[in-house]
Structure 1
């Protein structure tokens, strides 16, 4: 019978996240250990057998060290649909996204139909409630905006308004637009509303764990003309643990507050 292969911390680090280490870094931070590949361990994830794999699709094995089994964090995070990122400069592994980081709405991969939803930089159309923005999404009847989020974000912070001559409440509804959503793609995950008198209102949607989302914009009474705008102060982020939204909860809760 073959002896179990010894593993080093360097092997473990390379398996967890691909990166290269200089000799100076290795000398200061890497400490050799005696560990074993534990090929007898199997995994059950949410009731089903699961095989962790690396980025190339090769099976991974748990590493046994001092009575505990260790598994590469990237494989586990992706299986649980938790965003993970390695910053080589700071040698930090971010599990669940970088706190405080924001990605502007118009920097995101976005799909619009260019008929019912239009992106505009026209100064006449980017003037919203007496405030000049650089870019807006213009929805005068109804429409869908699809974003590819790749599970990297917890929140969509959407700044929206109803402009003149809009007279009706407008609903902004969140849907799961992933190819794997199946029948659940028709289920409204969240619905928040903006009234004409609200000015520019901040809507916070929980998008945690979603790979692709759709925002459907329409009057709840199916009124034909709504004159809605989504402005360029909107963004995706992972929440601010120290901040409270309008409902008094932190992080990923939904809210609607005026944008000053």
Structure 2
């Protein structure tokens, strides 16, 4: 077997992740062994890795671990790979960017407002062990009672998912319904008195409008409901 001393930036790839080189280990001289006798099998089929111009790539063994270039393996399993030269970062898989509802127009009920004062957005969250958490933004629905508080969020594009934490300060049950612009019900729930519920990745089917309905059970001023840090992606 052939021994070589090389300067390598190598990555063992078995799952999608983002890899960032640390400042104290960007370059390191190591002793590696080229192992042309090692076969790579993916989903039962032998895989012969090649570089960008079609040359065969030989697996490298360092301290008992086998390494191959990230791009060769990621392309074999149809996993996107990108290189950011400014941050020396290899990114595997797709990147999903979340966007706050704070960036979009909210219309409808006059009882709905945007809240950016973080001092008003401190809630106790958690199922078994609760802790105080401060949120960055919220949609506040005030005076929740038997009169419907319906409002619309107009997005700037079609999005796939919606997430938020709904916090009720109402001492009776509250019905929450979320629809798209075609009135398809995307999510609905009944909040218990003063309940906090996390909803994550509601499927939006590329909706560009969200219709949100908040209905209490009794008349009169009966407290507020908050949609905390609502985002789409």
TM-score normalized by structure 1? 0.36
More helix by share: 1
More strand by share: 2
Max Rg structure: 2
